[in-house]
Each structure stands twice: as C-alpha cells, then as structure tokens.
Amino acid sequence: MSVRVTIEAASKAEAQLIADQLPLPAEAQFWRGLGVIRVDAKSNDETRTVIEAVSRVFQGQSLKWARVRYGDEERVFKATGAKAR
C-alpha cells in the first residue's frame, strides 16, 4: 500500500533542508509561497520513518514550521520563542 506524503515548509530553502535528510529520494519545490516536498512511502513504517526524519531536521535546524500530511492525517511542527529562524 503506497502512502502519499506531502511535506510543507515556510520556504523552498527550508523544504530543501528537509528533503536532503529524508530516507526517500525527494525534491523540494516552491508552490503558492510554500516549500513543498511530495514523496510516496511504500508502507506505514516508511511513512513513520519520513515523519521522524522531518522531526529531526525541524529540531536540529530550528525551522519556523513544517507540516506533514499523509493519508487523512497530518503532523504539524511549530517553533516557539527565540529558537525560530
């Protein structure tokens, strides 16, 4: 079962930071003012691995925000306080 995963970020540069660290081949694009990455995960485990990778990059790079959409669900990461770029 393939799962379409869409990752959005505040800019294409932030999306590229995320794309470079994903366990699947991914390319960042710029769409409607957002950085967007689209990948197809082959399983729920692979989807979970993608979400974990986004979380690590988000925390490690102090990004403003990122949203991961998969199936009918989404996970949102938001910076708080002075840590945001």
Query: What is the domain-level CATH number for residue 11?
Result: 3.30.70
Give how many domains the chain has, as a whole number.
Answer: 1
pLDDT averaged over every residue in the chain: 90
Domain carrying residue 54: 3-83
Q: Give the Cβ contact number of residue 69 at 10 Å.
A: 15
pLDDT at residue 75 in the model: 95
pLDDT in tens, 9-47: 999 999 999 999 999 999 999 998 899 999 999 999 999
Tell me the sheet residues that pair with 73.
Answer: 70
Name the nearest CA neighbour of 25 among 37, 36, 34: 37
User: Could you tell me the pLDDT band of residue 82, with boundaries at 50, 70 and 90?
Assistant: low
